[in-house]
Amino acid sequence: MAENKSFLKFKGTVGDLCFYKLNGKDIVRKATGPSASRIKYDPAFANVKKNNHEFAGATYISKSIRRAWGAWGKQFQETYVASYLTGECRHLIAAGKGTLGQREGNLRINGNILIGFPLNRAQPASKYVTPNWQITHSPDRGQITISNTNSSIKLPKAKAATATHIEITAAIAWVANHHWTEATLKYQPTNPVQNSMGATQTTGFIAITQWRDPMVLQLDIPQSQIPTADVALVIGLSVQFGREENNAITALKTGQSAQIIAVI
């Protein structure tokens, strides 16, 4: 709070500044938003409260995905991936059934909203491997096959001369649908047991000169972990380049990339 010594004297708010008189002095301070208590109880802020509910729900879904991916996600993600993914999950909830503030986060129906999401916006996997990925699965989703036909590799410019190998990894996150529950006044996973389970399957490093077409990854899920009808499988795919020296392969940070390629 400071005294307004400008020749302009008025009351009101301009941008983020609030002008008013206090004890005969003209005062200017930064305008503050409504308190948490007012948002919670004032009917005028009903929609703000409902939007906050759904944003919190999006946060839970985003966290479920990232927790399931674990170390794989941390290796490929950029600093603000949590915020960006939460934003996409907010769109997912907005597409769900129900009333504002209680719309469901149904990944089985609206999970396509997440397809193409890069863990690093500057480095989507499609930047280095042509995005012709096809995903097939058994009726119970117990067996998943990921293949890439007519594929080609584009080496990162900085390492084009030194990258000798490439590794493709699929990371799968079990994510339950999330519903608003009156008992807890927050979004909860419909299947907390399977929510945030994760698994990965990798090709290991393959010499770029031996890249085979089609490239195929297959994941067989144990019977006890086959997802229930209200649980989606969010499939991420990463590209990692490596350099062979003295019969050992060193992973290169340049060119490492990942993105969501399917939600089933």
Query: How many domains, the chain?
Result: 1
Domain that holds residue 213: 43-263
Asked if the structure places residue 4 within a domain, the reply is no
Asked if the structure places residue 33 within a domain, the reply is no
Q: Residue 15: how many CA atoms within 13 Å on its side-chain side?
A: 4
Asked if the structure places residue 51 within a domain, the reply is yes
Report whether pLDDT(48) > 70: yes
Q: What is the mean pLDDT of residues 30-50?
A: 64
Asked if the structure places residue 25 within a domain, the reply is no
Rounded to whole angstroms, the Cα distance separating 127 from 134 reads 17
Residue pair 73/171 in contact by the 8 Å Cβ criterion: yes
Q: How far is CA 99 from the centre of its chain?
A: 24
pLDDT at 38: 58
Report whether pLDDT(7) > 50: no
Alpha-carbon torsion 151, 152, 156, 159, what sign? Answer: positive
Tens digit of each residue's pLDDT (9 = 90 or more) over 51-79: 899 999 999 999 999 999 999 999 999 99
Asked if the structure places residue 54 within a domain, the reply is yes
Report whether pLDDT(37) > 80: no
Tens digit of each residue's pLDDT (9 = 90 or more) over 200-218: 999 999 998 888 777 889 9
Neighbours of 63 (CB within 10 A): 15
Question: What does 113-124 look like in DSSP terms, one character per residue?
Answer: GGTT-BSSTT--
Report whether pLDDT(46) > 80: no
Asked if the structure places residue 15 within a domain, the reply is no
Tens digit of each residue's pLDDT (9 = 90 or more) over 145-194: 999 877 777 777 655 568 899 999 999 999 999 999 999 999 999 999 99
Asked if the structure places residue 144 within a domain, the reply is yes
